[in-house]
Structure 1
Amino acid sequence: MNQHEPIPSRMSRKRKKNRRSLYRSIAIGMLSFVTGGLMLTAVYLSIIINKWRDVDLTQIENIEQSSFIYDVNDNFITSIYGVENRIKVSLSELPDHVKNAFIAVEDIRFYRHHGFDIKRLFGALIQNIKQGRYAEGASTITQQVVRNAFLTQKKTIHRKLQEIYLAYRLEKLYSKDQILQMYLNLIYFGKGTYGIEAASRLYFGKSAKDLTVAEAALLAGIPKSPSTYSPFNNMEESLKRKDLVIDLMVKYGYLSREEGEKAKAEKLIFAKPSPRSYPHRFFMDMVLEEAADILGVSEEALLTQGYRIYTTLDRQLQKYVEELYSKDELFPRCPASGIPCESALVVLDVPSGEIRAIIGGREYLDGSTVIQKGLNRAIQMPKQPGSAIKPLLVYGPAIEYFGYTPVTFVLDAQAQFGNYKPSNFDGRYRGWVTVREALADSINVPAVRILKDIGIQNGISFAEKFGIPFAEQDRYSLPIALGGFYKGVTPIQLARAYAALADNGRYKDYTTIRRIENSYGITVYQSKPVKKQIMSEEGAFILNDILRSAVENGTATRLKDLNIPLAAKTGTVELPDTAEFAGIDGVKDAWIVAYNPQYVVTVWMGYDNVDRQHYLPPDAVGGKYPAEVAKAIFRYIYQDEKAPAFKKPANIIEVKLDAKALKEQRKAFLASPLTPPAYVITEYFTPETAPTQQSDYWMPPQAPSDFKVTLNDAGLPVISFKPQDTFAAYNIYRLEEDRNTPLFIHQIKRETLDKVEWTDTFVDRGKKYTYFIVPIHPEVETDGQPLQGTPTAHLSVVVPLSAESDGAPQAESTSENIDRADVTPQQSRRKTVYLRLLD
């Protein structure tokens, strides 16, 4: 031992020993703390990871996406969506520069990491420590996918750990390309728009597959902060961000420097921003309702499942109709208030029952979303149809089941049916009219007579087959013949009914949808119209042909100058006969249904609620304003193509009739060789109803039968006979003892074949008089004189000197022949008398 080295004291040795014991205790304590912390952390992670394992990552494939609507030609109309406007797109559909733009700005090592990027994670950690807050998240594309699909946007350590864990799991389940595709379909671009496809359409009005480099770069810059970098919010910041993305694409070798400069210089053309809305809303409402019913899902679910709905809409026609409805001059105003009327319209394709265009009102008023629908008057507001119901309720069943033909005669005269006294709209009564005339001119009283004749129940049963609804109050009511329904019908119901007539009596329901595909392009619904024969082809053809007369010379003549084959029926409903409308001349509802074998157009005009401030002017009949709208539509449809005509069924007989005989004798006769061309008309019949008897109207009339000359109690000559032709006039001639020339003394013209008597009062007592009759045809002339038939025999009688004679002696018959030239009517001192039966 060095003698100079001090010897440690007992006290100092004790202090060192105590210090080592303290360090050991501290170390043990710290180790225990760390171990406990790690154990607690392990337990914590074990618990929460078990919960995180419950997340079904495959559900990411079922993200909400918009559904799509297409027109009749499979052209895209619009997308419909709930909260999120998203259109899924496949990665293979996108150009490389779209994918590269997002990788460059969001996750350059995307194809090299396993869900999270350690380098970026630590870099972000350092920045967060420097700033003293959670500022940067360093999330990879995979992490953004799980965050957007399953997690909240709150910036917490717990959420970040969960994000990393789920990202790691996601990379075990899916390939990098699948994850990138998920990302591009999930990310938010502002304005309620999710995914690259919807964003491309929102900002540039094009599909993502058509994006340029500059457009792709601008979109890639938005997701970091859509409120800041959306060009609709901040154009300057958006363009700066776009250039940054391009610079990154150049930096990482996705673009050359020249390509980058070119992309920066590109002038971008943006789509016009617009509030969320849908075109053709009346039609779209019907599509959503029908599609939801077909698929058995709610309308809300329909908006989020990515369906492709191929509709029946002719979009160009719909746009034209909407433009037409913006023209105030086509729609009358109430005379009292000046308030314009409402209107609804349907254009139906006859062969398929598909709706080509529809208007539910002059304006569409609703809430702010597609689920909140507006009032569609075309399908939701029944109105009294007026005379537009006559073909379906009255004339259809009369022709189909009760043997009525176009030339059946019906009396148009004032009549009382119990407590009901119908009147004609124009106040005129025409006497005997044919079914064709009554329907074409929409005469009211004949329609009521026919419905009473065939039975109200029979009429209703027939119309119900055409889809016409009736209230219980209608079932014993004759006024329904004129459209006086308790509730009424909608334009779509009338269109559907007339489509059955136009389609040769085949009924089918209407539709707005041709087919539906799911988000994978698989057809899940295909429309197959089911047709039901509810009226014979022959009956439908005859009724259609009668309604063509309404266009040619009836209530729908405004359509005539279109020069296309059309049938039509108008309807006009007068104001109620109540104290409220006393002294007011106006119209309640006005209709027209115009059609051919291809299209039915139904137009209604009126008011939702009729009162003294809401009614149509008196001239707003169905044949005026509604007809003008229908006319414009048919002109548009057939501006470049030929309109089809109604085809005659094989079992229909086309017959040439004698119009004069029909009118004079109220019976259909075949035209004869003598019938003047001006009096030959064409009519259609079934084999069971076709006339077979040829007209003899233009033949020389027959001599009357049972010709007699007797003396009455006063001793005066009485000439009696029975006419043989209703069209003939009968000239009575007399020969006197002191004259050689027959004297024309009287003419008789009657419309029946009943026996006729006439007394000759201008005679002298004690003289002999000889009488004969010459039948003539007033309508036919020969050599300037009426056509004569064969004269009767001559009968003579002697007028007694006194009126007190012994009875009435039989006149003498002579066989004296008189040349026809001698019996030409001459000026007589007696006035010609025409006797007619009163109806």
Structure 2
Amino acid sequence: MPDDPTARELSSAPNDARPANTLVGSKSEDELKSSEESIGSESSKGEPNWKPAKRKSIFLQWLPLWVRKLLRLGIQTAIIGVLLTLGVATFYFIASLSYDIGEIQKMPERSVIFDIDGKELATLHGENRRLISRMEVPDFFVSALEAREDKRFFDHSGVDLRGVLRATIRNASDMSFTQGASTLTMQLARNSFNLREKNLHRKLIEIAIALRIEASYSKDEILSAYVNRIYFGSGCHGLEEASRRYFGVSASDLTRRQCALLVGIIRAPHACSPLRAPAKAIMQQDEVLARMVTEGTLSPEEALNIQASDLGLTASGSGAGGNRALQAVRRHFEELIDARDIRNGGLRLQSTIRTNMQELLEAEAHAFLEAIPGSPEIAAVCIDTRTGGIRGIVGGRASGNTSFNRALDARRDLGEIFAPFVYAAAAERGIPPRKGQPVTLGREIGTEDLINLMERFGFRGPFLEGDDLFRGGVSATPLEVAAAAATLTAAGQKPRTYFLRQLLNSDGNQILSIGPSTKSAFASTSVRTALETQFSVDEPRILLGSSPSKTDAWAVWLGSKRTICLWVGHDIPTRLDSPSILFPALQESIQRLGAARPKLDAASQAK
């Protein structure tokens, strides 16, 4: 087909030159046809190919946009806050599981020393505490404690939310951490696990532990643990020890004023100790009474009557005990028991000391030193002849150094009192003893053999040699002399000396028991011969003499029930003054002690 020139011109003409009825951007016939086919296809399916627009929520549409955004932010913040709170609570609950709640009832007490009759002598290692039950706590003390420390104690579950809110507001206003809102349970948690830091972390741990305590124990059990654990100053842990220390009575016998004072000093036990600062203690007592009036527990008239009553403040109670008898018991105790058990305390030590005999020894030693010239030292020891139990011991002047016990540690030459031991050694070797001839007998026995025989008596020396030894050149402590003398009296059976009779734990269960123990040292005929050589039939069995250098004086009572040894001398060996006064006084002292009949408690008659 021949080309049409006109058509070719139109097709090649620019868009601007196209006919006016041709629209720019209009669909071509093919596109229109395709669109019609598509519409026809969808129509045939009966489904539109478009979706309706989502309708916007009309909730709070009437509020301004900025208010709606603020509400949305608040809701999101609250959700995050709840989640964070749950997370923190979970964290601190898990952290509190590392603390053994049972520890609140495990409180160390001081170990206590008793004499052989069960009389308390002193306390030593451990915290100065005596445990009591809830029934022994006065009701007035509990009321005062509630008013001062935790007025909703019997209502909350370990945490006082109102108190926490009040403390939070106060701390925020003061920009400090002075208010803690601690309940009694929280205080118990703090004191049981030594949570002393003042910060939020410690407080949250304390709260978590308090909640666990409340879930595990009754209110009475918590209160009992609290009053037994809390510190009251002056070394007193627990209500019972504080009652005895400050007022000389048991907790159950406290007066209302005494209860108020003890509650008052809990917050500052050191600064407000009644012994250190009585005025501050009374001020705290008055604050407690005023608080009780505010809470309606007391009337103003009752509070005034309590303030006017006698306080009865004393400085009694148990101390550590400074005399050398107790020092000796402690030393013996520490040789037998593991150091860790000693530090934990709570032990009950029954010693062999008899209080009446101990007092007699101390009084006689004091009287003797007052009666003689110069200023010598003195040591004395009394033992049970049959068992070896030490009934009393004096280690030196009362004002002297208590760490050095001359009855146990001072080794001095025996001199003239050594003779009967030489007689026994001679009889043991078949040599007839002759009174007044220890040197001759010693030569017959021989130095080496005599030393061996003296070691059977318990003498440990040092020993001199030859005639110096036979004249009494052997050093021994007063306790060794007493044990050797008891061997003479007890038919050659040497008793083991001991201070500790039995040891009990805080539950009363026996840990250790030490009974009498003897061993055969000499034949009974040998010691009987020695005694018959030394003493006449009706003569009191008293050994009296001095060392060869005249620096030491000895007196020994040989009785069937008790053996007593006295020593007089100087720590630095010095010749004794006025022997004409000293020896008669020493003989009188040993006779009085030997003849004394200490009054025994009814419980000790069979011992």
**Within 2, Cα distance between the matches of 1:121 and 1:222?**
23
Q: Structure 1 counterpart of 2:392, which letter?
A: A
Amino acid at match of 2:354: D
Aligned residue number for residue 510 of structure 2: 523
| Deviation of the 1:180 alpha carbon | 0.9
Structure 1 counterpart of 2:604: none
Query: Which residue of 1 is the match for residue 30 of structure 2?
Result: none
What SS class does the counterpart of residue 458 from structure 2 fall into? coil
Q: Could you tell me how far 1:626 is from its partner in structure 2? A: 3.5
**Matches of 1:90 and 1:463, distance apart in 2:** 56
**Shift in alpha-carbon separation, 1:208–1:171, aligned structure 2, 3 A:** same
Q: Structure 1: how far apart are the matches of 2:599 and 2:246? A: 37
Which amino acid in 1 is paired with 2:451?
Answer: I
Aligned length: 538
Higher helix proportion, which one?
Answer: 2
Aligned to 1:63: 107
Which residue, 154, 171, 176 being the options, matches 1:133?
A: 176
Aligned residue type for 1:384: D
- 2:535 paired with 1:500: no
2:227 aligned to which of 175, 181, 184: 184
- Cα shift at 1:123: 2.9
CA distance in 2, matches of 1:599, 1:229: 50
After TM superposition, the structure 1 = structure 2 runs for residues 454-469 of structure 1, keeping only pairs within 5 Å, are 454-469=445-460
Q: Is the 8 A contact 1:64 1:304 kept in 2?
A: yes
- Aligned residue for 2:210, secondary structure, equals helix
Match of 2:413 among 384, 393, 405: 384
Alignment of 1:470-619 (within 5 A): 470-471=461-462, 474=464, 477-485=466-474, 488-549=475-536, 552=539, 566-575=540-549, 587-610=550-573, 614-617=574-577, 619=579
Q: Secondary structure at the match of 1:469?
A: coil
Shift of 1:253: 7.6
Report the Cα distance in structure 2 between the residues aligned to 1:352 and 1:65, rounded to whole angstroms: 31
For residue 594 of structure 1, report the CA deviation from its aligned partner. Answer: 1.6
Structure-2 residue corresponding to 1:285? 327
Query: For residue 210 of structure 2, what is the aligned residue in structure 1?
Result: 167
AA matched with 2:547 = V
Determine the structure 1 residue equivalent to 2:28. none
Q: How far 1:525 moved relative to its partner?
A: 2.7
Give me the whole-angstrom Cα distance separating, in 2, the residues matched to 1:546 and 1:621.
28
| Residue 41 of structure 1, CA deviation | 5.7
Residue in 1 that maps onto 2:357 = 317
1:459 alignment partner, SS class: helix
| Pairs within 5 Å for 1:264-275 | 264-272=307-315
SS in 1 for 2:140: helix
Within a 5 Å distance, the mapping from 1:250-261 to structure 2 comes to none
Say yes or no: does 1:156 pair with 2:191. no
Report SS of the residue matched to 1:120. helix
Matched with 1:231 is: 274
Q: Equivalent residue for 1:302?
A: 342
Q: Please state how far the C-alpha of 1:592 moved relative to its aligned partner.
A: 1.6
Matching residue within 382, 386, 392 for 1:347: 382
Question: Which residue of structure 1 lines up, in the alignment, with residue 391 of structure 2?
Answer: 356
Cα distance change of structure 1 residues 289 and 23 upon mapping to structure 2, 3 Å threshold: same
Report what 2:158 is aligned to: 115
Distance in structure 2 (CA, Å) of the matches to 1:501 and 1:254: 72
Q: How does 1:764-803 map to 2 (within 5 A)?
A: none
In 1, distance between residues paired with 2:598 and 2:149? 56
What displacement does 1:630 show?
Answer: 1.9
Partner secondary structure for residue 356 of structure 1: strand
Structure 2: distance between partners of 1:639 and 1:381: 28
Conserved 8 A contact 2:385-2:563: yes
Question: Structure 1 residues 466, 518: CA separation in 2 closer, same or farther (over 3 Å shift)?
Answer: same
C-alpha offsets along residues 474-504 of structure 1, whole Å, 9 cap, x if unaligned? Answer: 5x6442222213xx21111111111222223
Q: Using the alignment, how far apart are the partners of 1:499 and 1:258 within structure 2?
A: 69
Computed over aligned residues only, the root mean square deviation of the Cα atoms, in angstroms, reads: 3.3
Aligned twin of 1:53: 97
* Contact 1:330–1:629 under 8 Å retained in 2: no
1:200 to partner: Cα distance? 0.7
Q: Deviations over 1:611-658 (max 9, x none)?
A: xxx3323727984454343234335x24889xxxxxxxxxxxxxxxxx
Cα deviation, residue 257, structure 1: 8.0
> For 1:591, what is the secondary structure of its paired residue?
strand
Report the residue type matching 1:113 in the other structure.
H
Q: In the alignment, which residue of structure 2 is the partner of 1:561?
A: none
Over 3 Å counting, the alpha-carbon distance change for 1:33 and 1:377 in structure 2 is: same
Task: Give the Cα–Cα distance (whole angstroms) in 2 for the partners of residues 175 and 89 of structure 1.
Answer: 16
Letter in 2 for 1:504: A
For 2:587, what is the secondary structure of its paired residue? helix
In terms of mean alpha carbon deviation, does 109-118 or 242-251 score higher? 242-251
Rounded to whole Å, the distance in 2 between the matches of 1:260 and 1:26 is 56
> CA offset at residue 255 of structure 1?
6.8
Whether the aligned pair in 2 keeps the contact of 1:604 and 1:626 (CA below 8 Å) is no
CA distance 1:495–1:243, change in 2 (3 Å): same
8 Å Cα contact 1:332/1:620 also seen in 2: no
Residue-by-residue CA offset, 1:574-596 (whole Å, 9 max, x unaligned) = 33xxxxxxxxxxx2222121221
Match of 1:631 in 2: 591
CA distance in structure 1 between the partners assigned to 2:114 and 2:141 by the alignment: 27
How far apart, CA to CA, are the structure 2 residues paired with 1:544 and 1:325?
27
Superposed displacement of residue 224, structure 1: 2.1
User: What is the one-letter code of the residue matched to 1:321?
Assistant: L
Structure with greater strand percent: 1
Aligned partner of 2:438 among 429, 442, 447:
447
* 1:679 aligned partner: none
* Partner in structure 1 of residue 129 of structure 2: 86
Q: TM-score, structure 1 length as denominator? A: 0.59
Is the Cα contact below 8 Å between 1:67 and 1:81 reproduced in 2?
A: yes
Name the CA distance, whole Å, in 1 between partners of 2:587 and 2:293. 66
The letter for the 2-side match of 1:448 is V
- In the other structure, the counterpart of 1:721 is none
Of structures 1 and 2, the one with the larger relative CO (CA 8 A, separation 6+) is 2
**Is this contact kept in 1: 2:413–2:552, CA < 8 A?**
yes
Structure 2 equivalent of residue 563 of structure 1: none
For residue 589 of structure 1, what is the amino acid of its counterpart? D
Structure 1 regions of 5+ residues with no counterpart?
A: 1-16, 334-339, 367-372, 406-434, 553-565, 576-586, 642-839
Q: Is the 8 A contact 1:589 1:604 kept in 2?
A: yes
1:661-688 per-residue CA deviation (whole Å, 9 max, x = no partner) reads: xxxxxxxxxxxxxxxxxxxxxxxxxxxx
Relative to 1, partners in 2 of residues 1:513 and 1:630: Cα closer, same or farther, differing over 3 Å?
same
For residues 718-757 of structure 1, what are the structure 2 equivalents within 5 Å? none
- 2:599 and 2:172 mapped to 1: Cα distance? 75
Which of 394, 399, 407 is the aligned partner of 2:427? 399
Contact 1:364 1:374 in 2 (8 A): no
How far 1:360 moved relative to its partner?
A: 1.3
TM-score (norm 2): 0.79
- Secondary structure of the residue aligned to 1:590 is strand
CA gap of 1:315–1:111, structure 2 versus 1, over 3 A, is same
1:305 counterpart letter in structure 2: G
